[in-house]
Amino acid sequence: MAKKSMVLREKKRTKLVNKYFKVRQELKAIISNLNASDDDRVDAETKLQKMCRDSSPSRRRSRCKLCGRSRAYNRLTGLCRIHMRYAVMNGFVPGMHKASW
């Protein structure tokens, strides 16, 4: 089980990413626009740099839905390896079973 503070911090980051998503996209569009003036580009870069760090989507970390574990996360199911194994062993994941040969 992950610390509650880490899980809450991740939720806060997700809210910030969703809140500033449009603003970040607009600033990035200005920066990458070849027809924009140099002053506009510099202004857009400084505004983007001054935004809070946690509003960047790359700072998010995928976590298990059940325990909040960040390591060994499976994107298909949204579970960590421990809960994934439990779900497979109990038949909750269709088409998956323990390998035996």
Check residue 78 and give its pLDDT.
Answer: 92
Domain ranges for the chain, please list them. Answer: 1-61, 63-101
pLDDT, tens digit, 9 for 90 and up, residues 59-100? 999 999 999 999 999 998 899 999 999 999 998 888 888 777
Q: Please work out, in degrees rounded to the nearest 5, the angle formed at the alpha carbon of residue 29 by the alpha carbons of 24 and 32.
A: 125
CATH of region 63-101: 4.10.830.10
**Contact (CB, 8 A) for 62 and 6:** no
Task: Write the single-letter amino acid at 72.
Answer: A
pTM of the predicted model over 0.75 = no
What tokens appear for 63 in the block? 């976590």
pLDDT, tens digit, 9 for 90 and up, residues 1-56? 788 999 999 999 999 999 999 999 999 999 999 999 999 999 999 999 999 999 99
Count CA within 13 A, CB hemisphere, residue 45. Answer: 10
Helices (H), 1-101: 4-32, 38-50, 81-89
